[in-house]
Structure 1
Amino acid sequence: MTAPKDHLRRHAVRDLLHPHRVKDSMALARQPSLRNSALAGLQAGTAAAIALPLVWLSPWSHLLGFASLGALVALFGRFAPERSRNRILLLCALCQVTAVLSMSLVAWLGAPLPVQLALLALFCGAFLFVGLTGGFGPPGALIFVFAAAASMSSSMTLGQVFERAAATAIIALLAWAICAATETFRHHPTEERPLPADPPLPVRHRLIMAVRAAAGAGIAVFASHALGAHHPAWAAMGALAVLQGTHLHINMNRALQRTVGTTVGAVLAWALLIQDPSVWVLIAVLVALQILTEIVIGANYALGQVLVTPMALLMTHLAAPQAGGPQMAPERVLDTLLGAAVGISIAVLLSTIDDRRHLAEHQAKSRNE
């Protein structure tokens, strides 16, 4: 059956490339609950501020990067109903530990890099499906994929595998405890004051999104690897960030926002890393960035990426100082460009007629405003 004229893929591309798309992607949105977003950042920042100095001063200082991954669990469930957030946080902690443990075990078993990259692409689809099904909310599957990417290695002992998983799990539980102890400060959704809650998607829709994410991430990560990038996983995450959007216009906005925000953020990270800062400075900057990110990212994803990018690069540097440094910054930008381009291409190529119909309706509405 032929799609209606306005719902063909080439017309979707035309709508996505319309000049007003840039304006839309740069617009500032009203924060649904600045209090909840700031609290989530403060909770994650507090977990990091407690855990990272203790880990650095301990005999397990080499696990600093994995401890910081555990603290990120506090970012989830910020808009969840009163009795649901603790469950969501525990499930997210399980996903975070699973990502670290699974990829580390694969590395311990001697899997070559292409196998690890393929597994990472599959994780993009699997964690997206799990996050949508569990109603985890922002920041979505990217956090789990970031943990899996940080766990990729060319060689490893079984003891190191369990050290990594334990460090992630312990700090994730600390983050959960901090969130539980400060739950009283969070706004809870009510009929008078509803908070964002994505409507449950049909299983078919979730599966389609998961397949797109895995396909896009797979193409991006292997293209980056073929081009000789040192961190091809970043291209997979760039594609996933775009494909997490539930509609085509959101996919395009994410591609533009991630590209612009990452470019600016990479410059900031480079400017800091060339100073060769101490671990204490890096920890302080990470905590500050974590809090500030959650305050601004709800207003505009690009602004959030300006802060997320240096935070991700600093965490990568802490996890593997020998592979980090200022040289990561330009590669982060190039991998993000590649991932975003692949992501939006896959979004259009694998779009359904309903996706394109929704885009056409959104485009018509925008013209009339």
Structure 2
Amino acid sequence: MNDFGRHDLLRALSPRGWWRLRPVDRAWVSALRAMVGANIVLVAVVIAGHTELAPAAAFGGMTAVHARFEPYPVRARVLAVIGAGLTVAVGLGGMASAAGWGPLPVAILVAAVAAAAKLFTDGIRSGPPGGLMFVFAAGTTSAFPVSWPGVAAQVGAAAAGAVVACAVALSGWLFFDHDRTRTTSWRDGLRAALHRSSHEWPRALKVFAAVLAAGLLAHALGLGHPYWATVAAAAILQATHLQHTMHRFLQRVSGTIAGVLVAALLLTLDLPQPVRLVLIVVALLGAELTVIRNYAVAMVFVTPLVLLLGSLSAPVDTVTVTTDRLVDTVLGALIGLVAALVRPGRGYQLA
């Protein structure tokens, strides 16, 4: 690979156009399907009084946000492996917590999950959100104390969430969209990605290094939620080229700032649990409607969603948790951007 010239680098780092809204077809259909599929098990475990299982159920349910626009034969295969992978990520994070792992091994685990998820999702061309949810799942579950029986319960909740999400996502197969013209051979794509000469390996290693650095630095600085920094670093590096990475950086930071303000207001109101559940469901719908149009707008919904979800199982201090969210996100996003600048590629649109 040739190094960037100065002109290429300046073009890649230009912020121009990061605020634009992209047109999307069938946004409402896919967003509603994702909202329903992702939240059924989450709502069920909260109503049943098992709020400690809410994050695991939510991560399993996030299977529904993948392969939104694929024809059903492709969607079925992709969602099956995504759902299994998210369940494994929840299990790995829970096992690290139950085993009492320290910051270094946890950071290595989350970084390894991030790299494997990047390699895997790029290989099968799963599309947005790529490997991000795997990092979020492993990082979050590793951060909260849990017993070994609790790990089994988390895995069960995640698996249930994934199964329900798949069922909802595929529910229209008998009635709609029998188009097979876009069916892709994802096994061939995965084999190509795993080949030792594949360009996917350097990208996966870059994600590993950035996520590891974000986790360790956030812990060293004493930040309250280091896994949020790892998620931010991974999110920035899901982009397909350096220019996209720069836009993603600006969008994640600006959207998080606005989202933190919304979340602070909602948390200050000390809303009853049923209202918070409704807001979580609505926030996911908003995120799904806007994520492909503009990532910054989606983050305005995602940030309150995450903070409200965390408030279901235990009371939170509004100032502390919103500050942590903002600082961790900026730190992780900066590390992700710096990692993207290391050997960026031949052209300003290459990763």
TM-score by length of 1: 0.85
> Which of the residues 157, 165, 172 maps onto 1:167?
157
Q: Which amino acid aligns with 1:347?
A: A
Q: Residues of 2 paired with 1:142 and 1:326: CA distance?
A: 26
Query: Partner letter of residue 285 of structure 2?
Result: I
Letter paired with 1:29: R
Which of 92, 100, 109 is the equivalent residue of 2:90?
A: 100
Structure 2 CA distance for partners of 1:216 and 1:12, relative to 1, 3 Å: farther
- State how far apart, in whole Å, the 2-side matches of 1:228 and 1:327 are: 12
Give a deviation string over 1:82-139, Cα, whole Å, max 9, x none.
3111111111110110001011112222211221122112211111111111222111
Equivalent pair of 2:207/2:234 in contact (CA under 8 Å):
yes
SS at match of 2:199: helix
Q: Deviations over 1:226-248 (max 9, x none)?
A: 11101111111111111111211
Instruction: Indicate the SS of the match to 1:24.
Output: coil
Does residue 250 of structure 1 match 2:253? no
Cα deviation, 1:233-287, whole Å, max 9, x if unaligned, reads 1111111111111211011111111111111011111110111112111110111
2: CA distance between counterparts of 1:314 and 1:196? 38
Equivalent of 1:331, from 319, 324, 327?
A: 324
Q: What is the CA distance between 1:75 and its match in structure 2? A: 0.7
Q: Percent of aligned positions with the same letter in both sequences?
A: 29
1:208 aligns with 2:202: yes
- Opposite residue 17 of structure 2, the aligned amino acid is D
Which residue among 21, 26, 30 is the counterpart of 1:40?
A: 30
Supply the distance in 2 between the matched residues of 1:344 and 1:80 (Cα, whole angstroms): 30
Q: CA deviation at 1:200?
A: 5.5
In 2: Cα distance, 1:197 partner to 1:261 partner = 36
Structure 1 CA distance, aligned partners of 2:330 and 2:8? Answer: 21
Q: Residue 76 of structure 1 contacts residue 138 of structure 1 at CA under 8 Å; is this kept in 2?
A: yes
2:132 aligns to what? 142
Q: 2:221 aligns with which of 224, 227, 236?
A: 227
TM-score (norm 2): 0.89
In the other structure, the counterpart of 1:30 is 23
Alpha carbons of structure 1 residues 284 and 326: separation in structure 2 relative to 1, 3 Å? farther
Q: In the alignment, which of 14, 37, 40 is matched to residue 10 of structure 2? A: 14
Cα deviation, residue 51, structure 1: 2.7
Alignment-mate amino acid for residue 333 of structure 1? L
Superimposed CA distance per residue, residues 193-212 of structure 1 (whole angstroms, 9 cap, x where no aligned partner): x7999996953221111111
Q: Is the 8 A contact 2:71 2:177 kept in 1?
A: no
List gaps (5 residues or longer) in structure 1: 361-369
Query: Does 2:68 match 1:74?
Result: no
What are the Cα deviations for residues 289-316 of structure 1, in whole angstroms up to 9, with x where unaligned? Answer: 1112111221111111111111122223
Contact kept, 8 Å, 1:42 with 1:290, in 2: the verdict is: no
| Equivalent-residue separation in structure 2 for 1:215 and 1:287 (angstroms) | 34
Distance in 2 between the 1:210 and 1:80 partners?
24
Number of positions where the alignment pairs a residue of Structure 1 with one of Structure 2: 345
Call closer, same or farther: CA 1:92–1:121 in 2, change over 3 Å: same
User: Is residue 340 from structure 1 mapped to residue 333 from structure 2 by the alignment?
Assistant: yes
After TM superposition, give the deviation of residue 344 of structure 1 in Å. 1.3
Deviations 1:39-71 (A, max 9, x none): 332123223553334212325343122222222
1:239 aligns with 2:233: yes
Is 1:110 equivalent to 2:110 in the alignment?
no
Distance verdict in 2 for CA 1:162–1:190, change over 3 Å: closer
* Residue pair 1:212, 1:350 contacting (<8 A) in 2 also: no
- The answer (yes or no) to whether the contact 1:270–1:327 under 8 Å persists in 2 is no
CA distance in 1, matches of 2:129, 2:101: 29
Give yes or no for contact 1:55–1:63 (8 Å, CA) kept in 2: yes
Corresponding residue of 1:301: 295
Distance 1:12 1:238, change over 3 A: farther
Q: Secondary structure at the match of 2:126?
A: coil
RMSD: 2.8
Check whether the contact 1:251–1:347 (CA below 8 A) recurs between aligned residues. yes
Preserved contact between residue 30 and residue 68 of structure 2 (Cα < 8 Å): yes
Instruction: Report the CA distance shift for 1:140/1:185 in structure 2 as closer, same or farther (over 3 A).
Output: farther
- Tell me the amino acid that sits aligned with residue 32 of structure 2: L
Once the 2 structures are TM-superposed, how far is the Cα of residue 12 of structure 1 from its aligned partner? 4.6
Q: 1:260 to 1:59 in 2, by over 3 A?
A: closer
CA distance in 2, matches of 1:182, 1:326: 44
After superposition, the Cα gap between the structure-2 partners of 1:234 and 1:290, relative to the gap in structure 1 and judged at 3 Å, is same
The alpha-carbon deviation at position 15 of structure 1 amounts to: 2.9
Measured in 2, the distance between the counterparts of 1:90 and 1:190 equals 18
Give the aligned residue type for 1:235.
A
